[in-house]
């Protein structure tokens, strides 16, 4: 089945999830060929939920000894999607064997991103000891972020925000149904807390210091007392902050993949901006759908700062 998407692309249904046309081939190859190593870290995310931020944080946390002086840090000269590339884009190639040997030579721990839902991840990710750091965001802000991102990247986007919301509620959105995406990782994080760390954008905004430490502990590289007293955590928080990243030259031009302008990954970076876009009818529709889809799961979201 095929549906018109929010970036005026087609979406294809594959293993119960909707994929944008420019991702589908890479998703299939990734699932079939990727070989996880035990030391790998996978940053798995819902689109427009804080992927850019969590990739930067994870990279900075894991590599803090390699790049201890802050003036030559790779995050100052590379976009976080380059440092933590999406596996479905890596595998969007014809020559899989070359790609596999390139990947096997990357310095460990390797860090990759993905939007692929848990049930469709390759077997080797599920069966190895690699770790998954996951982030999602309250659907109100996610929809606004997505709709604006779609309009900026594609001025031909015909969907109104109301229509975008309708599709989102039906699950017809890139890497959606988003409910199933979140619930897949949510359930795995409960069943297997050493494998999946489940984070929410709102929580990181509220207490980033706590979550930087939490991610480091989860990845088996907790901060030492000495690091804490030397301001290593604060340096990471600052390096990855919205203002810092948005204003870097490297994030002002060029694209992620072939399609998405880097500068559009940085918009407002706040919790609760949806109040400027949602009508009462839209609030009712999304609240009702969330109640239907998430009730009983234990998963809930803050929607204001």
Residue 114 binds to ligand A3P (criterion: CB under 6 A) = no
- The enclosing H or E element of 191 equals helix 178-191
Give the C-alpha separation, 181 to 46, whole Å.
7
Q: Which of 9, 22, 31, 49 binds ligand A3P (CB under 6 A)?
A: 49
Of the candidates 274, 278, 276, the residue with the CA atom closest to the CA atom of residue 303: 274
- Nearest-Å Rg of the Cα atoms of the chain is 19
Q: State residue 11 phi and psi, 5-degree precision.
A: -110, 140
Task: Map residues 3-42 to x or -, x wherever contact with ligand A3P holds by CB under 6 A.
Answer: ----------------------------------------
DSSP character at residue 86? B
Catalytic residue among 73, 81, 92, 115: 115
**Reduced 3-state DSSP string for 255-276:** EECCCEEHHHHCCCCCCCHHHH
Q: Which of 74, 119, 257, 269 binds ligand A3P (CB under 6 A)?
A: 269
We find the least distance from the C-beta atom of residue 177 to ligand A3P, in angstroms, to be 17
Q: Which of 112, 211, 218, 265 binds ligand A3P (CB under 6 A)?
A: 265
We find the least distance from the C-beta atom of residue 123 to ligand A3P, in angstroms, to be 26
Residue 50 binds to ligand A3P (criterion: CB under 6 A) = yes
Q: State residue 71 phi and psi, 5-degree precision.
A: -75, -20
Q: Which of 37, 267, 285, 302 binds ligand A3P (CB under 6 A)?
A: 267
Cis peptide leading into 66, omega within 30 of 0? no
Nearer of residues 205 and 293 to ligand A3P, judged by Cβ = 205
Where are the alpha helices (H) located in 96-138, listed in sequence order?
96-104, 123-127
**Residue 73 falls in the annotated catalytic set:** no
Which span (3-11, 43-51, 118-126, 159-167) binds ligand A3P, by CB under 6 A? 43-51
Give the C-alpha separation, 137 to 119, whole Å.
20
Nearer of residues 12 and 242 to ligand A3P, judged by Cβ = 242
Q: Which of 79, 145, 189, 289 binds ligand A3P (CB under 6 A)?
A: 145
Q: Which residues would be at the binding site for ligand A3P (CB under 6 A)? A: 45, 47-53, 141, 145, 240-242, 245, 265-269, 273
Query: Would you please indicate which residues are annotated as catalytic (active-site) residues?
Result: 115
């Amino acid at each position: 089945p095929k549906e018109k998407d929010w970036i005026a692309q087609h979406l294809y249904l594959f293993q119960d999830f909707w994929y944008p046309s420019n991702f589908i081939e890479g998703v299939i190859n990734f699932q079939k060929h990727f070989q996880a190593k035990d030391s790998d870290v996978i940053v798995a995310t819902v689109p427009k939920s804080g992927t850019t931020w969590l990739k930067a944080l994870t990279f900075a946390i894991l590599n803090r000894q390699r790049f201890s002086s802050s003036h030559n840090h790779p995050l100052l000269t590379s976009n976080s999607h380059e440092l933590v590339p999406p596996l479905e884009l890596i595998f969007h190639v014809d020559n899989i064997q070359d790609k596999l040997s390139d990947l096997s030579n990357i310095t460990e721990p390797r860090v990759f991103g993905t939007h692929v839902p848990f049930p469709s991840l390759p077997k080797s990710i599920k069966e190895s000891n690699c770790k998954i750091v996951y982030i999602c965001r309250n659907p109100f802000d996610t929809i606004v972020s997505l709709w604006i991102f779609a309009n900026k990247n594609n001025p031909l986007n015909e969907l109104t925000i109301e229509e975008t919301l309708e599709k989102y509620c039906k699950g017809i959105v890139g890497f959606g149904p988003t409910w199933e995406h979140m619930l897949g990782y949510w359930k795995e994080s409960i069943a297997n807390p050493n494998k999946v760390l489940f984070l929410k954008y709102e929580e990181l905004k509220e207490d980033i210091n706590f979550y930087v430490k939490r991610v480091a502990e989860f990845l088996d590289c907790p901060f030492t007392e000495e690091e804490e007293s030397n301001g290593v955590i604060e340096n990471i928080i600052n390096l990855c902050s919205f203002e810092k990243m948005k204003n870097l030259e490297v994030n002002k031009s060029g694209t992620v993949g072939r399609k998405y302008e880097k500068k559009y990954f940085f918009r407002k970076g706040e919790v609760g901006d949806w109040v400027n876009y949602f009508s009462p009818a839209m609030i009712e529709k999304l609240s009702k759908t969330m109640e239907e889809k998430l009730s009983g799961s234990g998963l809930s979201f803050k929607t204001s700062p």
